[in-house]
A and B are shown apart, each in its own frame.
Chain A
Amino acid sequence: MTRKRRPPIAPEDFRAAGGLLDRRIFLAGGLAAGTLSSSSAGAEPLSVAPWMKTPGSPFTPYGQPSRFEDKVVRVWTNPPNAPGTGAARTPLHVLNGTITPNGLHFERSHSGIPDVDPDAHRLVIHGLVRRPLVFTMEMLARYPMESRIAFIECGGNGGSLYQKDPAQLNCQGLHGLVSCAEWTGVKLSTLLDEAGMEPSAKWMLAEGADASGMSRSVPLVKAMDDALIALYQNGERVRPSNGYPLRLLLPGYEGNMQVKWLRRVKLTEEPTMTKDETSKYTILTPDGKSLQFVFPIEAKSLITQPSPGLTMKGPGLYEISGLAWSGYGKIAQVDVSADGGKTWAPAALQQPVLPMALTRFRMPWRWNGGPAVLQSRATDETGYVQPTRAELIAKRGGKTIYHFNGINSWGVDESGEIKHVYA
């Protein structure tokens, strides 16, 4: 097979300051040798490894990652006295693609992960309906199902970026409360139609079967539009930490509303005003008023590689890669800057780009070994552009931790070290 090679990078390939290149450079075929390869002088002959000489291990019932990947794990924080209350974060900085492995999907729980027996569990639909219904898991499994790939992001993800000084954390610590999976289940609208909604019903309370009875009010319009009673996560039954045996999926809405271990849906005229839609998950603004019912996640993006905690291995050609998402639809464009937002170049979007799903973007970058500030900026299909951190704070102030979607800045220094900075 012959493949056309690109000529070496030329001045006209640069798209923005700091070494950002045309997004098509990697796609257009290999770059001509010479610019990249390191010296081969004195190289030892390649050795044949021991695992090529004896049979490997036998089969296992449920596969696990390589033992060499044992650092690719969630990390979590919890309040004192409450080991099951808090959040475990996805290691975004060491993952690639767009789908989060089930064992690494972020978790936010308010009173631990319940050990729900699916045979004893029930889903109830009642309130302003003509026929209150109770479902066993077996009944639900007989319904027509559909799958959709959707991100879930905690409403508090990125909350530390409201602070005055940049928290010295990596992508996982700063933004690890977002994950993406293929969810499969029964459309909630099917069950609501069967129950028969009263015309006065405008909201529904969704309640979980955990010890905190986690509960949130959801607009009925959303429930009828695209809500799913998810039974499967990436092809297998939903993990206990994500709501086994079933969770509510509300594509694009803040994670807290997508109630796990769902046991009850109650149709109401008004919101129930639960703790998590009043005391929490409301945005306190500088005038002392709080924004309530902030449901969809606004467009947001971050560069996952390179990112804080990782180190550049000398000047040369790198791929900048990251994630973008919007609760209002598809990502339309992601721009990348290497000079702290002064100049921008469009990144390549990995296909397929799906609404309310994580979108992977990629950008070739020739790092010259000097200081750089890397940023990404997402635009969604509604035309909304991810704001700078300063713009967001000017509007919202710094008294909240919720719905941070400002632009992130990674400072690269001459040694190749990468730090979270404000720029």
Chain B
Amino acid sequence: MYTPSRSIALALALGTVCSVGCAESPNLGRVATPEELAPWDISIGPDGAGLPAGSGTPRQGEAVFIAKCVACHGEKGAGKPNDQLVGGRGTLAGDQAPVKTIGSFWPYATTLFDYVRRAMPLNESKSLSNDEVYAVVAYLLHLNGIIEENETIDARTLPKVRMPNADGFVTFTRGK
């Protein structure tokens, strides 16, 4: 028999298809403008979507690194006391202990911009200008032998940087 309570259940079951502003939803959120969201919209996709204006070179980045990063990541990113950022190529396969760094392991250069801008330097994150982030990214890519010393890193060039371990990842499927 078709009862009213069943019809409610049916409506709820179909409720997932409702798109703009479901009638039965509280709809309390305020519509946000792009300008309002801009300071929060800091994530960078692997295609470079979201990269800001600005640029930097390895040489400029060396100064940033010495001023802001070396205390924790060591000279030329060699590590100690915190993560090693350079080297380790060729250590992923085989029996030796893997040394995972930006150069040996990271599949996308865009991740480096995203992460340094949001999280580093650890004790004063989000303090670097976009130019400084581009520069220190360029420096770390250069130390890892990925770009030349005179290359400029910006929104156009960064997504084109091919990382040594770009093909090193396989999407997991259960049971494999």
Which residue of chain B has its CB nearest to the CB of A110?
B119
Which residue of chain B has its CB nearest to the CB of A224?
B16
**Closest chain B CB from A111 CB (angstroms):** 6
Verify A215–B43 contact, CB threshold 8 A: yes
| Interface, chain A (partner B; CB < 8 A) | 79-82, 85, 110-111, 124-126, 130-135, 139-140, 142-144, 189-191, 193-197, 205, 207, 211-213, 215, 224, 263-264, 266, 268, 270-275, 278-279, 282-284, 286-296, 328, 399
Q: How many residues of B contact A (CB 8 A)?
A: 57
Which residue of chain B has its CB nearest to the CB of A126?
B37
Residue among A205, A328, A399 with max Cβ neighbours from chain B (10 Å): A399
B122 in complex: contacting residue of A81, A196, A215, A294, CB < 8 Å: A81
In the complex, B29 has a CB within 8 A of chain A = yes
> Which residues in window 90-145 of B have CB below 8 A to A?
92-94, 97-98, 100, 102, 105-108, 110-111, 114-115, 118-119, 122, 125-126
B168 in complex: contacting residue of A191, A196, A290, CB < 8 Å: A290
Measured between beta carbons, the chain A residues less than 8 angstroms from B45 are 268, 270, 272-273
Measured between beta carbons, the chain B residues less than 8 angstroms from A328 are 174
Which residue of chain A has its CB nearest to the CB of B173?
A291
Verify A134–B122 contact, CB threshold 8 A: no
Measured between beta carbons, the chain A residues less than 8 angstroms from B72 are 81
In the complex, B25 has a CB within 8 A of chain A = yes
Verify A193–B111 contact, CB threshold 8 A: no
Alpha-carbon distance between A412 and B18 when the two chains are bound, in angstroms: 59
B119 in complex: contacting residue of A124, A135, A213, A286, CB < 8 Å: A213
| Given contact pairs A111-B122, A292-B169, a sample of 16 additional A-B residue pairs in the complex whose CB atoms are under 8 Å apart | A81-B71, A124-B37, A126-B37, A132-B34, A135-B28, A191-B29, A196-B21, A270-B45, A272-B44, A273-B45, A274-B114, A278-B105, A278-B169, A279-B111, A295-B172, A328-B174
**Closest chain A CB from B82 CB (angstroms):** 6
A194 in complex: contacting residue of B29, B114, B122, B171, CB < 8 Å: B29
In the complex, B81 has a CB within 8 A of chain A = yes
Verify A196–B37 contact, CB threshold 8 A: no
Verify A111–B114 contact, CB threshold 8 A: no
Verify B172–A212 contact, CB threshold 8 A: no
7 examples of A-B residue contacts, CB within 8 angstroms: A81-B81, A82-B82, A191-B29, A194-B29, A212-B118, A270-B47, A275-B119
